[in-house]
Structure 1
């Protein structure tokens, strides 16, 4: 009885194994047939935009932040004291050198000038009398008609009279100068600020601030360069490639695209600030259209290298794999091939590729997110290698339908 049940159980197990093998074979067959049937309906290769690597001579530019400053800036203060009689300019207007800005009450200074001129006339009269007496004394002393002591006295009086004339002339010149100083004029050409003292107020000599005048054309832009950039510029200067105080700069304001204004560095400070690790530099810019106003923030680009040949790609083509950068290059069979690259700076919106690419390579710059693995087939569409002319979705969609 036991032997028979064991035999029956063995037969059942063998039957179940046979049924399982048959099912597996049937499933495998159906899977193969379904895969084979799906191949004709496989999706097309994704459309991507490819562009030829730009091979061109470039110059690298370093970026700094700066401030616009006037070449000449004057705080206007009176040189004589008195009550302001008139404000003779329009606040905020441009003035020429020598234009009248303020008038201080001139009456006391005219009276002082008249008094000084009267003193001069009296001194001249006394000097003439002393000179004539000295001349007569010379004749009398030769005839022994007067003593030598009296002659010396008359000669001294003549010299004293001449000195008195010179002193009176100096007093007249000082009084005339004070009278001129009652007319406060622009010491430089530029734009005048608001009048800080109006008519009727007392202005103290060398103390009261009347207004400010800042020059308009040209202007300076001050910026701070880091030590690494400073040392690089010094090396270029020592090599003779460039004068340290004639580096070209490009400047842009807050509301401007790019750096449309060109200028030249005309000054570099004589020391590095140990607290900040920077050195102050200054560039000069023409300002005929009055685009720049002193105090404005400026974005400054300073030419950081001599001209060299470089390969450039759009930053949108660059992907990151942990600490490595790479791009996809179009292969001969329209497949995406990975290339690890070493990147440099951005030049005119494109990224410098130092290693990893060769001239003539076709780089995927649009639709790169559709490439899931190296060697994947793609449908390329030629585009330009510029950020402004990157292909739009319609171009990629058209490429995908091919």
Structure 2
């Protein structure tokens, strides 16, 4: 019995010793070498930009179609047989280049006939004029009756009128002969020929022989809504749109690389649609613009004004609220709710909530919370590193970084 009690006591002492060893191990692992509290977590590295105001322009964007400045339907002015087509379908031609030739022989014969009639009329006028001159001398000597003199004067006048009629007939015949050679009235691109050699055409043809469009400049035509029209400055609203910035991009182009000018505002708004017809004029140096192409048009609205712009990555979302994180002089993060305006290509206009000089976190927003201590790195507003020698972050957007509405 004593031996059993001794073994029980020995086992209890061994358990106590084991528990004490575990507690000592835990204390040795969790306690720093020098004693005291554990070291604080390292500061989070973030990129910070200084808020600045800058001049921006509000933009309105529209969809439209390209239209030719000049479009001409080529129709025959005389009837006859086509003897020659001088162009390739779809070719570029200059003003005055020949397009079609109609058989000129009947019209040349008409010119010759008119010329002969003019010659005869001129000869008759010369004879009657000389006869009238003799009658005037005889009348002075009372050697001719007054009635005979009047007849000769009337004959001379009729001969002169026949000369004028013959001259007009000759001019008309020459004009018809000239119209047998159809030339380009403008410089531009010609469509396909609707009639080929050997076909008889008539001056009353309902279908044109071909069409031509100018290519050096084209219109971008679109519809502007009433509110946008009312927001335009006075000069633009009256049609003097030389100072209104207008740019355009085709369906396969990024942004709006083509610059133009406002050329036309219609004289009234359509009450059914609430829009007004607008045209912007664009140069076509590379010849890529064609009538009918889809065009994205960006039109400046109003005068430039001061605003704050931030990248989308610097703006957080808290349910229905939008916010940014500010860094103060002690490198402590704070929450700031902001009101946003329009957006353009990754930039957002901040309408309220920020002031010039505020330090905003532009990279690393997801890694921080209000009250955290951070290690800020000063960068530009777009998140790029400052260039050597920059004393302060430059404004974020490029010179044309303007937003749309």
1:168 aligns with 2:166: yes
Q: 1:129 aligns with which of 127, 130, 142?
A: 127
Closer, same or farther in 2 for the Cα pair 1:316/1:117, shift >3 Å? same
Give the structure 2 partner of residue 338 of structure 1.
335
CA distance in 1, matches of 2:346, 2:259: 18
- The 3-state SS of whatever aligns with 2:156 is helix
Is the Cα contact below 8 Å between 1:60 and 1:347 reproduced in 2? no
1:386 aligns with 2:382: yes
Q: 1:289 aligns with which of 254, 276, 286?
A: 286
1:298 aligns with 2:295: yes
CA distance in 2, matches of 1:338, 1:211: 69
1:119 aligns with 2:117: yes
Closer, same or farther in 2 for the Cα pair 1:236/1:77, shift >3 Å? closer
What's the TM-score, normalizing by structure 2?
A: 0.77
Cα shift readout 1:199-244 (whole Å, capped 9, x = no counterpart): 1112221534111111112222222221111111145769x9x954
- The 3-state SS of whatever aligns with 2:82 is strand
1:356 aligns with 2:353: yes
Give the structure 2 partner of residue 79 of structure 1.
77
Structure 1, 109-118 or 339-348: larger mean CA deviation? 339-348
1:315: Cα distance to partner? 2.0
Alignment of 1:42-53 (within 5 A): 49-53=47-51
Cα shift readout 1:262-282 (whole Å, capped 9, x = no counterpart): 111122111111111111222
Cα shift readout 1:240-297 (whole Å, capped 9, x = no counterpart): 9x95454121111111111111111122111111111111222222222223222221
Cα shift readout 1:79-109 (whole Å, capped 9, x = no counterpart): 1111111111122221111111111111111
Give the structure 2 partner of residue 92 of structure 1.
90
Q: 1:258 aligns with which of 255, 276, 280?
A: 255
Give the structure 1 partner of residue 274 of structure 2.
277
Is the Cα contact below 8 Å between 1:55 and 1:310 reproduced in 2? yes
1:54: Cα distance to partner? 4.9
Higher helix share: 1
CA distance in 1, matches of 2:245, 2:85: 43
What's the TM-score, normalizing by structure 1?
A: 0.78
Closer, same or farther in 2 for the Cα pair 1:143/1:342, shift >3 Å? same
Closer, same or farther in 2 for the Cα pair 1:273/1:321, shift >3 Å? farther
The number of residues matched between the two structures is: 351
Give the structure 2 partner of residue 313 of structure 1.
310
